Amino acid sequence: MEAYTKVHPNLIKHDLRYPTPEYLRARTLLGNVKAEGEMDEVTAGSQHIVKILLDDTVLLNSNINSRNLNSESYGLYQWVWDTSGEEGIHTLTAILDPNDAISAGDEIIENNTASLDFVVHSRSELTEIESSAAWVTSSNDCCNVHVVSGTAAHRDLDELLEIVDSAFAQASTMLDEPLQGPYDVFLIDRVIGQGGYASGSMVVSYLDRDYAGSGRGETSSSAGGAGDEDEVEGQAGLFGPAKQTFFGLT
C-alpha cells in the first residue's frame, strides 16, 4: 500500500480511474503473513467475519474458512435447503464484518453488503427424468461412487466401478502411497471446468457427448512418464470414443 501511495499521482495521469490509496486501505485487510498459502497466523483478514442470510434466516456467521488454488483466502460455505413449498423469489445476502468490528478504514457498514435475488421454481416444471432423479451409490474396493439416476454414469455404473478401482490402484502404485479410502467419487452429467475437481471428494464430468474432443485419454496421459502413457491410454479406451470423463493422474 505504501508503494501504491507513492506512485498513485503518476498513475492517475494515465487513467483517472485508479482508486485512491484511502479507498484501497478501507477495503484491504492483512491476510497471509509468513509465506504464500500460510493461514496459521491470526490476522485481521483471517478474523474477517462473514454473515450469510437466506431471506431473513441466518445461515452462518463465520470467518473466512478456505483458500483457492492461488492460495488466496476466501469463504466457501455449504448448506442443505429443502425447497419444498418454497416456490418464488428469495434473496441471498452476504455481509462482511456485520458487527463492524474492524475500525480501520471505511466505517460505512452498508457498503459491506451484497445481495442476490433468485427464483425457486415449482417441481411441476421439471421434466419427467429430472423429477424422478435421485442419487445412487455403489461401492468397490477403493471408493463410494455416486451417480444420478437416468444419466450416462448410472447406465454404465457396473463398468465404471471397475475403472475407478483400477485408476485408484494405478495412482497408488505410481505414487507409492497406500490407499486410505473409502473415497467419494461423484460422476455428474455436467461439464465442470476441465472435467472435474477434487478436494475432500472427487467430482468428475461423465457425459455421452464429447465436448473436449479426445476426452480423458489426452487429459490423463499427459501426467505419467514415458512408461506409463500407453497404460493410461489403454484404460481410456474402456470409456468408448464418444464419452468424456477424466480419471487417472492429472
Phi, psi (rounded to 5 degrees) for 137: -120, 130
Read off the CATH number of the domain in which 209 is found: 3.30.2010
Its domain, for residue 58, covers 12-125
Alpha helices by DSSP H, 68-126: none
Among residues 77, 102, 125, which one ends one of the domains?
A: 125
247: in domain: no
Checking if the pLDDT of 91 tops 80, the result is: yes
Checking if the pLDDT of 3 tops 60, the result is: yes
More confident residue, 79 or 185: 185
More confident residue, 125 or 78: 125
Question: Lowest mean pLDDT: which of 48-52, 172-176, 234-238?
Answer: 234-238
Among residues 125, 151, 173, which one ends one of the domains?
A: 125
Among residues 96, 125, 154, which one ends one of the domains?
A: 125
Tens digits of per-residue pLDDT, 92-106?
A: 998 877 766 655 555
Checking if the pLDDT of 113 tops 90, the result is: no
Read off the CATH number of the domain in which 44 is found: 2.60.40
> Given this model, what pLDDT does residue 43 score?
61
Same domain assignment for residues 202 and 135 = yes
Sign of the CA dihedral 165, 166, 168, 173?
Answer: positive
Tens digits of per-residue pLDDT, 21-35?
A: 887 776 565 555 565
More confident residue, 73 or 192: 192
Checking if the pLDDT of 205 tops 80, the result is: yes
Same domain assignment for residues 115 and 29 = yes
- β pairing state of 135-139 and 143-148: antiparallel
The C-alpha cell at 163 is 475403472
Same domain assignment for residues 112 and 217 = no
Which distant-in-sequence residues (6+ apart) come within 8 Å of 186 by Cβ?
A: 146, 147, 201, 202, 203, 204
Which distant-in-sequence residues (6+ apart) come within 8 Å of 165 by Cβ?
A: 140, 141, 142, 143
> Given this model, what pLDDT does residue 230 score?
37
Mean of pLDDT values over 62-90: 75
Q: Is the pTM of this model over 0.95?
A: no
More confident residue, 245 or 175: 175
Q: Indicate the number of domains in the chain.
A: 2
CA end-to-end distance (rounded Å), the chain: 38
Same domain assignment for residues 195 and 156 = yes
